Structure 1
Amino acid sequence: MTETLTTENGRTVLRMERRLTHPQEKVWRALTSPAELAGWFPAAVEVDLRLDGAISFTFPDGVGDFQEDPDNNGVVSAFEPPRLLEYTWGGELLRWELSPTDDGCLLTLTATYDDRPGSASYTAGWIICLDALEKVLGGSAVPAKDYAELHEHFIKVYGLDQGVVADDGSLHFERQLVRPKEDVWPVLAAGFVAKGIEPGETVEHEMTLSYPWQHGLVTVALRDGNGGARLTLTQTGPAAEYLEAWRELIERLAADEL
């Protein structure tokens, strides 16, 4: 398995490759047949299998199961059996390519989207799905991988644990977590302050807290992300010297060490 993360035309591009010991035509059926997709794809799929055909996604547990939501619908944008299938899923573009090899075929998934901070979640999720695909194809049993472990691995590989310093000296973090926001919020509400910062009175509102510090304002917020809570943190003022202190604190939060 290979994974690469790049930026093209302002969008994030995740590319994943997996060599499969199965004929290209067999894998193609697993990519296009709703009955076979049910065994490995993260949502139930209904598709009009032709160029410009409609495709829709629903979830067995009902989460996101709203057909009027454009995020659960898409359009087939490329269709060249048994080599290429591309379609949109809301704002995401998924491109599946197959090429024959001596012992089977090479499957390449290219996902294009805007949510770069969610890239570790997308990668971990697709690895688990592709493991399930191999089982659907009748291959040897693939050892189960832990989602949280995979997620945190790719956080580091992609550098998604790093914050950024703006031109005005403020800093910003956006960090995907694997725990739900309801579990993370009590930790933040109990006091979330990096070393060296002298916080003023904290104001809390709808899973957002803010407090003044010596030279500006700290704001920390939680919302639903892909696979868990999404944390955002902004510190205004000349804040660059606190970048590493915040990174260490956020990583302890992600590891459930606070």
Structure 2
Amino acid sequence: MTETLSSENGRTVLRMRRELRHPVEKVWRAISEPKHLAGWFPAAVELDLRVDGPVTFTFEGEPGAPVDLRSHGVIRAYEPPSVLEYTWGVEVLRWELTPTADGCTLHLTATYDDRSGSASFAGGWTLCFDALERLLGDTAPERDYRVLHEHFVKVFGLDEAQVAADGELRFERQLVQPKEAVWERLAGAQTATVGTPPPAGFVAKGIEPGPVTAVEEPLRLVYPWSGGEVTWTLRDGNGGARLVLTQTGPAADYRTPWHDAIEFLAAELAG
């Protein structure tokens, strides 16, 4: 795989490419015309192919169901048949085609703010590229999104903690199942209630927790430890729950135990 992740001008930049055995002109139609985009792009797209032309992205539910989400963008670069760049909300997608001896190379540069969601984006675009290859007439492997997601988490280092100068820890981890399923894994058979010890799944090795001080299933759980406070939060993310765990106080020594606990949880959720 050829994916890279970087930070540029305060934003996250994901770069991906795919070698295709088709001429630039054919692939250009596939990435710029709505009737072809419908076969591989993650949303229905309407676009006015000119600089400053509007773009509309629509996600639909089950057949016959009302539209769930619609967002908009604008074309920022249009140089057929080699460059197409547009915004999608606050995200910027730049598509470039370069000819090769066997066809062409498709380059995608995605610029956005949600670094912690990068494994979801890379995994999703990988599946889209596979669908594009099938649309063009080639074969592509059937891949499991969950496996791709966890691969990119490791490749991009998205499983690592942020450690503040005072030793406070913060993990932000995208998971592949909804928050209700994550909470069920963490709590096990125990019901988390204020004034009782937290379920074992919410505690890292070596920590002696105090009783739960706040709980809102399946969104939030808080308890004290000798040096500060541990807070778990879960919210909807891209493709599953977004977990944010913080441990205040001089918590740097617990970086590895928390990492291991979260990655064990993620592996269980990924099946």
TM-score range (shorter-chain normalised) is: over 0.9
Is 1:226 the counterpart of 2:229? The answer is: no
TM-score, L = length of structure 2:
0.90
Q: 2:183 & 2:29 partners in 1: Cα distance?
A: 44
**Residue 24 (structure 1) aligns with:** 24
Percent identity over paired residues: 64
**Residue 174 (structure 2) aligns with:** 176
Q: 2:221 & 2:87 partners in 1: Cα distance?
A: 36
Residues 29-88 of structure 1: per-residue CA shift (max 9 Å, x gap): 000111110100000001111110110111131797334xxxx11111110000000000
- The AA in structure 2 aligned to 1:153 is H
**Residue 46 (structure 2) aligns with:** 46
**Residue 205 (structure 1) aligns with:** 216
Written as runs of structure 1 = structure 2, the 5 A alignment for 1:62-81 is: 65-67=68-70, 72-81=71-80
- The AA in structure 2 aligned to 1:173 is F
Is 1:101 the counterpart of 2:107? The answer is: no
Q: Larger deviation: 224-233 or 188-197?
A: 188-197
Q: How many residues align?
A: 253
RMSD: 1.5
**Residue 160 (structure 1) aligns with:** 158
SS at match of 1:22: coil
Q: 1:163 & 1:63 partners in 2: Cα distance?
A: 40
- Are the aligned partners of 2:60 and 2:67 in contact in 1 as well (CA < 8 Å)? no
**Residue 216 (structure 1) aligns with:** 228
SS at match of 2:68: coil
TM-score, L = length of structure 1:
0.95
SS at match of 1:2: coil
- The AA in structure 2 aligned to 1:205 is E
SS at match of 1:255: helix
- The AA in structure 2 aligned to 1:215 is G
- Are the aligned partners of 2:6 and 2:12 in contact in 1 as well (CA < 8 Å)? yes
- Gap runs ≥5 in structure 2: 191-198
Q: Larger deviation: 201-210 or 146-155?
A: 201-210
**Residue 205 (structure 2) aligns with:** 195
SS at match of 2:146: helix
- Are the aligned partners of 2:47 and 2:56 in contact in 1 as well (CA < 8 Å)? yes
- The AA in structure 1 aligned to 2:79 is E
Q: CA deviation at 1:185?
A: 1.4
SS at match of 2:204: coil
